[in-house]
Amino acid sequence: MCLAALHELEDEDVRSGSYTAFDGASELLTALDAGTWALVTSNYEHRVRGRFARTGLPVPKVVVDAAAVTEGKPSPVPYLQAAAQLGARPEDCLVIEDAPSGVRSGLRAGLTVLNCRTAKPQWNSLPVHQVEAALLRRVHNHC
């Protein structure tokens, strides 16, 4: 009974809560083809779709949610599943993550991770020139 009540409270929050996207998120996601990126979440797809709709963010074709995996974050399974569904090699994927368990999940899966939890995003503590090189390679490979 308590779990059902908690789920209902969260669903109500999705319907009536106030959400704002990270600065630049809408522009970035709108510029990407829906088949080239995935959403990996510890939540459930219907809630994420509701929150994205309330913020005007597009939803990708690939969504890996809590119901889609046997092991959640920080296991590498969710990100490996998303990469496989995109037909991409993990080392060619970039994770933008705001939760410590998600950062660990992406790193364990062998993906490059941008931690945007802090005011200044951290690229796995890489020197700036390595971050720039990684971004340039990704842009070049997809243009």
Q: Over the stretch 94-134, which tens digit does the pLDDT of each residue have?
A: 999 988 999 999 999 999 998 886 544 444 455 555 555 55
Q: Which amino acid is at 115?
A: N
Quick: pLDDT tens for 63-76.
Answer: 999 999 999 999 99
In the chain the domains, ranked by start, together with CATH numbers, are 22-142 (3.40.50.1000)
Quick: pLDDT tens for 45-58.
Answer: 998 888 888 888 99
DSSP strands (E only) in 8-99: 38-40, 62-64, 94-97
Q: Decide: pTM greater than 0.75.
A: no
Spatial CB neighbours of 112, under 8 Å, sequence gap ≥ 6: 91, 93, 94, 95, 106, 123, 124, 134
Residue 139 has pLDDT above 60, yes or no: no
